[in-house]
Amino acid sequence: MTNNVLPENIRKEDGHGSDPGNPSHASVDSLPLPAGAATAAKQLPNNHDVNVTNSQLAADLGEVSGIYSRSITGFTVEGIDSGSPSDIWPGADGAGLGVIAQPIWVKPTAAQVHSVVSDDAADTAAGTGLRTAVVTGLVDWNTPEVSEIVTLNGLTPVNTANSYVCVNDITVVTCGTAGPNVGNIFVNAVTDGTTQAVMRAGDGRSTRAIYAFPSTQKIVFKRWAGFINRASGTGDFIELKFLVDLAPTAPYACWINADQRTATTYGDSAPHWPIDPPPTVEGPAILKVQGEGSRNNLSGGASFGFYLVDK
């Protein structure tokens, strides 16, 4: 990400203590770690104790209070076109999901109850597909994300108990013998009817390169990545933009192009782009990746990793 184009609330750390030869370790020691938190012990499955003295590894293992390691991944099947951008999420698939394509994810303007529904009757409480799922999101822009369990009812929508300003994820909890989910699962805002998340059939979780976080937290970036399906054809490419909305409560979208890269069928079709020194973004904010292809109906995806830090 280019530092000189980023606003004040997207800033780069000084990289103190980083290893210049290893960008993935770029801001390890600049994380706001509590005293003594740089050393932790973790019991591994082979019953060997590991003494964790690296603060990045301690944070990745969940051993540092108030710091959470996150990785967000999105994918779209034939949802990336030439001449117009598409967000990296299943909603851009459209025809493949049997619905009208929604290339651009529409951010909510107010807290809403959401419905969870499948397009297959097997995804129900006693069915062979998805039975229960956990919905995770923000109920407002000043509170960390919360979760709730929803029991599916096949083709009949089931409403969430909470109202959300943004749903971040839906993931399988329990399923039947044909699970994780037989059909496509949709999370729709009840008031305005927009689709907020999609769990593609067989995926077991939503796959969208979109994430929202509140004013009580900030993020420290680690890296982001993009990829294109090699079957797309020789010489095809996807121009990817990493976008940040610093005004999520506004009734309009004000996305900042924080970084831009290209994924191509030549060479490495899934490059990773470390960010060194890593920027921080103060909440509230929404992050997403958007793509535009060399031709229509390309398949591809993106991911980004970061530390979510309590203020």
Domain residues of the chain, as ranges?
A: 69-90+211-310, 106-202
d(CA 108, CA 164): 9
Alpha carbon distances (Å) from 88 to 50, 168, 252? 37, 14, 20
Q: How many CB atoms lie within 10 A of CB 58?
A: 22
Token readout for 86 is: 């598409």
Blockwise average pLDDT, block size 10, the chain, 311 residues: 47 39 37 44 43 69 88 94 95 79 88 97 98 98 97 98 97 97 96 94 96 97 87 79 93 89 73 77 96 93 95 93
Residue 281 DSSP class = E
Asked whether 115 and 133 are in contact (CB, 8 A), the reply is: no
pLDDT at 41: 39
Q: Does the domain at residues 69-90+211-310 carry the CATH identifier 2.60.120.20?
A: yes
33 phi and psi, to 5 degrees?
Answer: -85, 140
Q: Which residues contact 45 (CB under 8 A, 6 or more apart)?
A: none
190-207 confidence digits (pLDDT tens): 999 999 999 999 999 999
* 282 burial type by CB count under 10 A (0-12 exposed, 13-18 middle, 19+ buried): middle
pLDDT of amino acid 269: 55
State the amino acid at position 40 in one-letter form.
A
Residue 126 pLDDT: 97
Query: In this predicted structure, what is the pLDDT of residue 95?
Result: 67
CB of 275 within 8 A of CB of 2? Answer: no
Q: What residues contact residue 285 under an 8 Å CB cut-off, 6+ apart?
A: 9, 212, 213, 219, 244, 245, 246, 248
Give pLDDT, residue 267. Answer: 56
The pLDDT assigned to 29 comes to 40
Residue-wise pLDDT tens digits, 119-132: 999 999 999 999 99
Helix/strand/coil percent split, the chain, to 5: 10, 45, 45
Q: What pLDDT does 101 receive? A: 85
Give the span between the Cα atoms of 263 and 226, in whole angstroms.
Answer: 6
